[in-house]
Amino acid sequence: MTRDVRILVVDDDFRVAALHAGVVDAMAGLTAVGSARTASEARAVLADTPVDLALVDVYLPDGSGIDLVREIRCDAFVLGAANDSSTVRAGIAAGALVYLIKPFDNAELARRLAAYTAYRRILDAPQVTQAQVDAALSVLRSDPPTARRDDAVSVTERRVVAALTDAGGPLLADEIAERVGVSAGTARRYLADLVRSGVLAMELQYGSTGRPRQRYRLGARTDNPRETGRSWLG
């Protein structure tokens, strides 16, 4: 993809909407193009602004977020507190690529958004093979990647994990890129994949102004190599 993925946040709670937009804006290759507190506001934004993905709450003041997902032409995630199976099924039937039950932490939303960018990257071609379709759907579901032999783990992945291990604490993407000796863009691509697979975890660092920044730390899957089938540093 040569341009940022454009994302609309639809949530009647302005604090939640701002939080979700902050997660979007902190991620490389993603841009929040606006927020809407009602279905009618969302329709107005969609009529005037190109949107690739909408993050839609279930309960909106003027209607159902699931009905909105059913009618819009862009991709959509449902992010809602409704956890009854009928609502979940309705959201998926309406066309939601992901149904994420509130509450969830920033890292989980970031992980799902990283999976979505990978999904788009795999299907970014006029024609695709069945293997590519299967891979895109698998990554979108955030399925654990197939276990690889230790010697098949990329050198860059090992160096990223080693940099965080040596640091003894979280690092910003730019700091990791400098320690590994790759460009910031390259580091962010590896970091997104490692977060999606659970090897790393991401958290947001908020400053007084500007976009929040992503900090990365080791995730649960590096704690027990025998459980994951990988030895990241050996």
At 107-149, the pLDDT tens digits run 889 889 988 998 998 898 889 899 999 888 988 886 544 444 4
Query: In Å, how far are 62, 81, 134, 188 from 58, measured between CA atoms?
Result: 11, 7, 28, 31
29 strand-pairing partners: none
In the block, which residue shows the tokens 């459980």? 227
Mean per-residue pLDDT for 16-35? 90
- For residue 126, the model assigns a pLDDT of 87
Candidates 64, 87, 55, 195; CA nearest to 139 is 195
Candidates 179, 222, 202; CA nearest to 232 is 222
Question: How far apart, in whole angstroms, are the C-alpha atoms of residue 67 and residue 96?
Answer: 11
Query: Is residue 95 predicted with pLDDT exceeding 90?
Result: yes
Among residues of the chain, what percentage have pLDDT more than 70?
85
Which residue type sits at 175?
E
Mean per-residue pLDDT for 42-58? 96
pLDDT band at 40 (very low <50, low <70, confident <90, very high): very high
- pTM metric for this prediction: 0.67
Mean per-residue pLDDT for 90-104? 93
Centre a 10 Å sphere on the Cβ of residue 146 and count the other Cβ atoms it contains: 7
**Domains within the chain, CATH numbers bracketed:** 5-119 (3.40.50.2300), 150-228 (1.10.10.10)
Tens of pLDDT, residue by residue over 206-221, are: 666 656 678 898 876 5
User: What's the whole-number average pLDDT of the chain?
Assistant: 84
Backbone angles phi, psi at 182, to 5 degrees: -125, 170
Query: Is residue 73 predicted with pLDDT exceeding 70?
Result: yes
Query: Is residue 205 predicted with pLDDT exceeding 50?
Result: yes
pLDDT band at 11 (very low <50, low <70, confident <90, very high): very high
Q: Residue 151 is inside which H or E element, if any? A: none
Residues present in the chain in total:
234
